Amino acid sequence: GFYVNSTGATTISSCGVGRFQADYGASSCDPCAPGRSQSVIGSSSCDVCDVGKASDATGSDCVGCTAGKYNRFPGASTCLDCPLGRVSGSASMSSCSACIEGQYANVTGTSTCSSCPPGSFTSVTGSTNCIQCAPGYYQSGTGGSKCTICDPGKYQPYLNGSICVDCEVGRYAAVSGSDNCTTCYRGYVQGSLGQDHCDACPLGKYSSTI
């Protein structure tokens, strides 16, 4: 941890922080290798950085990985970005966590997962994007892990739907998951919204609409 820097010197100098000397009679100190540090002067060795940390540029300290980054091996000189679909929300992490169902991470090195917007979902962990709800299905909230099928009497004609719509007067949807409504046939009518059938005209009355 000490050295003499010139011939005939009468004093011994201590190695500074970020440097060390393990031999006797040395004329200089060596810098700590990447992934190691030393914050104490006059040291004969450098310390290995723990997991979740990396050595700084001076070798004087091991610094915790920032949020969005990680390091799972001791003795690292740099921290790694969390991969797509995974995040680290705190400093000094040794691993990244997969986004839960209904959330995603589509960039590397991020600290938080984003929620799927209305009209979309993801049903698996570690997602990098969300899937649009199919016609006949909807998702009205954020962070959905599935889309809900439209009830009979309602329809949803688009991708990425956030709400099912009542069938109009004179139309119906008999089954769940409809992407459109059917017009009542001749002899049948429907005077209400959101119905799953048409009613036959009573005796003495008729309907000519298709």
pLDDT at 6: 53
If DSSP states are collapsed to H, E and C, what string results for 106-138? CCCCCCCCEECCCCEECCCCCCCCCEECCCCEE
pLDDT at 10: 59
Percent of the chain residues past pLDDT 90, beyond the cut: 81
Please say if the pLDDT value at position 2 is more than 80: no
Residue 140 backbone zone (phi > 0: left; psi -120 to 50: alpha; other: beta): alpha
| Confidence (pTM) | 0.78
Strands 148-149 and 182-183: unpaired
Reported as a single tens digit per residue, the pLDDT across 7-39 is: 555 578 888 999 998 888 778 899 999 999 999
Reported as a single tens digit per residue, the pLDDT across 39-58 is: 999 899 999 999 999 999 99
Amino acid at 121: F
41 class by beta-carbon count within 10 Å (0-12 exposed, 13-18 middle, 19+ buried): middle
Closest listed residue to residue 15, CA positions, set 37, 55, 43: 43
Contact of 74 with 94, CB cutoff 8 Å: no
pLDDT at 1: 55
